[in-house]
């Protein structure tokens, strides 16, 4: 869960997030990337994972308490993520999968 530093900026602990092993995944970098986003734009409610892949960034954002919209072109990977996630919303458009994940 995200916490706030002395100046009111959100921060999360730098850890390796649990995610699916996938070529090019960001498991080791996800929390650092998310903290960089916080440093740049501050806090936010919705996280849009445009190139979802193994879901590392989605998992990091979920653990930080954000609403996550996951997108993946590879239907096999999208179905795998979908089967292991608590999904609120699912829509198929142009063979891409968009769904909202809930933690």
Q: For residue 60, give its domain range.
A: 3-102
The conformational region for residue 24 under phi > 0 = left, psi -120 to 50 = alpha, else beta, is left
In the prediction, which pLDDT does 35 show? 94
Global pTM value: 0.76
The tally of domains found in the chain comes to: 1
Mean per-residue pLDDT pooled into runs of 10, the chain (103 residues): 83 84 84 94 91 87 87 82 59 47 56
Q: State residue 3's pLDDT score.
A: 84
3-state secondary structure of 89: strand
Cα–Cα distance, 2 to 75 (Å, whole number)? 31
Quick one: pLDDT at residue 34? 95
pLDDT at site 93: 44
> Which pLDDT score is estimated for 25?
82
Give the up-direction half-sphere exposure of residue 12: CA atoms within 13 A in the CB hemisphere.
27
């Amino acid at each position: 869960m995200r916490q706030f530093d002395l100046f009111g900026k959100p921060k999360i602990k730098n850890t390796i997030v649990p995610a699916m092993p996938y070529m090019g995944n960001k498991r080791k970098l996800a929390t650092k990337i998310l903290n960089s986003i916080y440093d740049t734009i501050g806090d936010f409610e919705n996280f849009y994972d445009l190139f979802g892949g193994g879901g590392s960034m989605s998992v990091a954002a979920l653990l930080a308490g954000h609403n996550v919209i996951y997108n993946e072109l590879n239907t096999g990977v999208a179905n795998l993520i979908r089967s292991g996630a608590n999904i609120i919303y699912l829509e198929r458009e142009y063979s891409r999968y968009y769904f909202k994940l809930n933690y």
